[in-house]
Chains A and B, each alone.
Chain A
């Protein structure tokens, strides 16, 4: 879906979220703890929310929210983010964006 691709490419770290989703909030907190500030896009506040949700499922996101994109690529949902972090692979992925967000 173009909207998602566009949002993902324009923002280093993007989290597709829902305002009522507490797991999305948890992922957000994790990224903040790691020193980055992802863009949180709340799909329940988007009139096309349902389509976005379907698109995320088609892209393979199990949540479908939270759906985390880093550097324009879909990383996955909470499971994938946690696995990456515990294996030490998440920080290298987000390091390029740590400097940028500090500049903001």
Chain B
């Protein structure tokens, strides 16, 4: 079957059974181009046919009106059945088209994941760790977009790290170096903006960390890296530091830890409240949907928490940048970028060298 237009059986020839025939024809579309324009064209044709079906029957029935009531009853019944069949047929068509659309999205998602896996140098098509493929539990378009953008973000990040390394080994001045630092910082802030949008689409997905690699997930805290961890990683690589800088960084570390602890405890409370909401009145069956509704409201709080954690990450980065000189900040960004890169490399190495059982 090469094109859809030649496959339509003219409606006039068929009687009541036409809507069911149309259903069979939709099965024929499996091998076809399912781009949106094609789907619309197909829809328009099917729609015309459904309308024609009922019109086709209404025409000839007029001549029955003058006869006795018994045949008229039959006619009316036939009309009603036909309308019902046509209606059901339209519903099935709608469901089928929706299925096609989500399959299309899923296809795009899979292609992106394969792309990303190939870029990471994995043997695509072999036995891959699920975490490398990313979380594909839903075909949420917002999440598909996020995964795509995140993939590009990582590529850009790798480029920036390489540029920064070259810049630091060359003898460029502070003014130029500042440009590298500023764009590096902005790049992290861009990620936080992307995450905020993704959190509104599917906060569980963001919290799961499935969009990151396995080793990064190990260090996860409310949707990303721990700000206090950030400082600990960077400190040894920022030397030499002045006494004032050392003091400022120490104070920053302490404030960061306190803010983190406060958010962690808030999260624990949220866990507790969500658990209580879901677990309330388990043995009564009427309020099931109310319970789910109440739980979903609590999920908005989770979105706020992720936003707050990212805000803490951003503030920490900004404060560090204020305390350091340009050159120190450049070294810090390089160290940080390399650290995350190593975690990603560790994950990909881990997944391509499966451990053998002892």
Q: Please report A residues at the B interface, Cβ cutoff 8 Å.
A: 20-23, 25-27, 29-30, 33-34, 78-79, 82-83, 85-88, 90
Contacts and interface: CB of A to CB of B under 8 A. Distances in A.
A96 to B, nearest CB: 19
Interface string B249-263: 001100110110111
B304 A23 contact: yes
Nearest to B252: A86
Most B C-beta atoms less than 10 A away, residue of A23, A33, A83: A23
A85 B263 CA distance: 13
Given A20-B273, A23-B308, 4 more contacts: A29-B261, A82-B312, A86-B252, A88-B251
Contact of A30 (B262, B301, B311, B316): B262
B266 interface: yes
B255 to A, nearest CB: 5
A15 to B, nearest CB: 12
A101 to B, nearest CB: 17
A26 B267 CA distance: 8
B265 interface: yes
B266 A22 contact: yes
Interface string B281-319: 000000000000000001001001100100110011001
A87 B304 contact: no
Interface of B: 248, 251-252, 255-256, 258-259, 261-263, 265-267, 269-270, 273, 298, 301, 304-305, 308, 311-312, 315-316, 319
Chain A interface main SS type: helix
A34 B254 CA distance: 11
A29 B265 contact: yes
A88 B301 CA distance: 27
A21 B270 CA distance: 8
A88 B252 CA distance: 7
A29 B258 CA distance: 9
B355 to A, nearest CB: 39
B258 A85 contact: yes
Contacts of A90: 255
Given A21-B301, A22-B273, A23-B301, A86 B261 contact: no
A86 B305 contact: no
A26 B266 contact: yes
Nearest to A90: B255
A83 B317 CA distance: 12
A31 B267 CA distance: 16
Instruction: Return the 8 tightest CB-CB contacts between A and B, nearest first.
Output: A26-B266, A30-B262, A22-B270, A29-B262, A26-B262, A22-B269, A22-B266, A86-B315
Nearest to B274: A22
A81 to B, nearest CB: 9
B315 to A, nearest CB: 5
A78 B269 CA distance: 16
A21 B261 CA distance: 17
A33 B262 contact: yes
A29 B308 CA distance: 15
A78 B251 CA distance: 20
